Amino acid sequence: MPDNYVITIAREHGSCGNKIGQMTAERLGIAFYDYKLIRLASDRSGISEQLFGAADEDVHRMKIFSAARKVYTGKLIPPDSGEFTSDINLFTYQAEIIKELASRENCVIVGRCADYLLRERTNVLRVFIHADLEARIAQQMQVLPHLSRAEVRKHVLTVDKKRGDYYKRYTGSDWKSAEHYDISIDTSMHTPENAVNIIVDSLEVMFKNMRKV
């Protein structure tokens, strides 16, 4: 068993990915990070949480055309630069936090391209949570009962588009590409409880395989 392990969770909107991440962390008794990463990155950089929040998973379509120049390199921009509060520097601060967490503690990390940032580490189980569109619309209609079905459908697709654009901009890769993940779980077929069981079982298999190496 490694000194520590990390579970990363990427998720389609309305697939209960965040809930599953929280439940997994509770089952294993380990830390859970989602939006808390923004606070940690803000504390590290001195840049306000509001600026991190504004850039979080919300890349304007016009910026995608410059994605090749914006892919994450790991290099921080110094405070005296006019680019210090640029989106790429905000992302790099979050990436630093994610890598440090992965090197020292057991945790679940949701979103923020964590699967890509930690792709070369052997102590990481990378999970993609998805569901068919109708199931995700139904789930979100319970969360947003004041919206019509058409409005909820648009909301789900918009959030997914933003997440895909965010991933593409900073990694140069397709968010939903199977090569980024060790397991993929369809929550239109599995309850959150079953999804947690699958993740925990997969983690145990990962440990067994590591001991054989």
State the 10-residue block means of pLDDT for the chain, 213 residues long.
Answer: 84 96 96 81 64 55 44 57 62 85 92 92 95 96 95 96 89 92 97 97 84 53
How many residues comprise the chain? 213
Q: Which domain holds residue 173?
A: 6-212
- Cβ–Cβ under 8 Å, residues 9 and 180: no
Across the beta sheet with 183-186, the strand order is: 31-33, 107-110, 6-11, 124-130, 183-186
Domains of the chain: total: 1
Residue 1 inside a domain? The answer is no
pLDDT for the residue 181:
97
Residue 59 inside a domain? The answer is yes
Separation CA 111–CA 134 (nearest Å):
22
Residue 178 inside a domain? The answer is yes
Count the neighbouring beta carbons within 10 Å of the beta carbon of residue 119: 15
Instruction: Give the CATH number for residue 190.
Output: 3.40.50.300
Secondary structure percentages of the chain, helix, strand, coil, to 5 = 55, 10, 35
Q: What is the pTM (predicted TM-score) of this model? A: 0.84
